Each structure stands twice: as C-alpha cells, then as structure tokens.
Amino acid sequence: MLLEEFDPSFHAVIDASMCVHPVENLPEIAVSCFSRHLFEAVLSFFQPERVCGVGGANGKAPVYAVGYRGKRIAFYESRVGEPACIGDFEDLIAMGLKKLILFGNCGVLDRSIEDCGIIIPTRAIRDEGSSYHYAAAADFIDVNRMYRDVFRQVLADCGCPYVEGTTWTTDAPYRETAEKVRRRKAQGAICVEMECAGMQAVADFRGVDFFQFFYAGDNLDHSQWQSRSLSGHVRLDDKSKIALLAFELAAKL
C-alpha cells in the first residue's frame, strides 16, 4: 500500500526553508485556532503586532505577536484541513517557531460530552493521509505527550471540567458514515476532527513541541446529526473564554 511507503529522510525535493526564511522577531511559541469569528474576537483583546504571514496561492494569513502575562506569543488563524494546516506549520517552523498550541472545534462521538466542553486528546486514529508522510504506518499516534499535566493544572486553576480520550482524525468530513462512527467508537474514539494526527506527526518529525485541545461542537452520537455550537458565531463569548486557556498554557511554557 502507498500509505506504507514512509521515507524517513529529512531531505525533500522541496523544503519549507526553500520557500520561507527565518523571521527575526517571530516569537518561539504560538497559539492558533481555526474559526475566523473566534480569531477576530480574541485578537480584539490585544494590541497585535503583525510579524509575518503564512499561506499559499489563495492568500496569506497574518501572524501577529501579542503580549499575555508578560510573554510575547505569536497568534494566527490555522487553515481547516490537514494538508493546509500542516503547510503553514512547516513554514512557521522554518521561520523559527519552536512550540505551537492549537485548539479548535470537534464533533463528539459521545453525547454525554457537553456542548463547548473541553477535550484533551491522548491519541489519534490516523484515518487521513498526511501523517503517513511523517511517521511509519500505524492505526494510531500518541498525541500531547508534552504539557498535558501543565494544561490539566490550567484547567483546574480556571475551574474548567474536561474529558480525555482518543480522537478520530479524518480528511473526509462528508464521509463520516454511521458505520464508520460505530467502528471508531469501538476503537475508543470520543471525538472527530481533521488535523490532530498529522500535526502531531509533523511535530514529532521536526522535533518541535506541540499541544492540541478541542472544544466540543456537533454531536454525531445520535440518530440524527445535531449541529449544536458548530457555527463560528454561536456561543462566541464562551469560545473566547476557552481561547484564553490556550494563552494561559502558553504563558506557563
């Protein structure tokens, strides 16, 4: 199978360092989210300084430096979908980024997880393609091996309940069939998203620090799909408070 053709060589025909250059004033740690509504709401809390941009043929997304609890932190909007999200991550690593905290919405496979509830993934099911270019073939990849205890303490300090478990990373959200949901639940998955497995594989391959958490959105554990707070403008105040958890974690690293 082609997905088993992992090549561990660090030398690629095209490398991010050929496309971007180190950015002198880029903070070594970044926080990133996916929702445009949430990104703009959180950015308004700060006095941001634009330091660079990431993206491709469909446009550049600005990367800002912001100050939080005396620490300078990069903040940018990640693109949805693993290949695009990874491409920006690769570019930022080449620019000088050392640590990334990524958070975003996910679907739940366990209806008991409350809308906007915090989820810490501990491993990801690799039902996608990008991770197989960064790690040898396997059904799972361990995620968030670093900083899990630190984030648990952040949540405890803020009085935020959370759950931990396996996430299902897919690259085909419109192919989350009832049978696949049943299979992934049998494998232990409590939620589903589109980036975690690949982003962790990149971080492991490149030797940078990475942590990702989710806030629960739509519910797939029902006879009919329930959108709940999936739309970016829904419960935006609650999501903005969740975003500050990422900055609290960044301030401690």
Residue 3 confidence class, pLDDT cut points 50, 70, 90 = confident
Identify the structural domains of the chain with CATH numbers, from first to last.
24-252 (3.40.50.1580)
Angle between helices 36-43 and 236-252 (to 10 degrees): 60
- What's the pLDDT band for 2 if we cut at 50, 70, 90? confident
Structure tokens, 183:
């299979």
pLDDT band at 57 (very low <50, low <70, confident <90, very high): confident
pLDDT digits (tens, 9 = 90+) for 115-161: 999 999 999 999 999 999 999 999 999 999 999 999 999 999 999 99
Q: Quick one: pLDDT at residue 180?
A: 97
Query: What does the alpha-carbon distance between residue 50 and residue 149 come to, in Å, rounded to a whole number?
Result: 32
How far apart are alpha carbons 64 and 45 in whole angstroms?
Answer: 13
In whole numbers, what is the pLDDT of the chain averaged over residues?
96
The predicted structure's pLDDT at residue 69: 97
Contact 219, 110 (CB under 8 A): no
With beta carbons less than 8 A apart as the criterion, state whether 73 and 66 touch.
yes
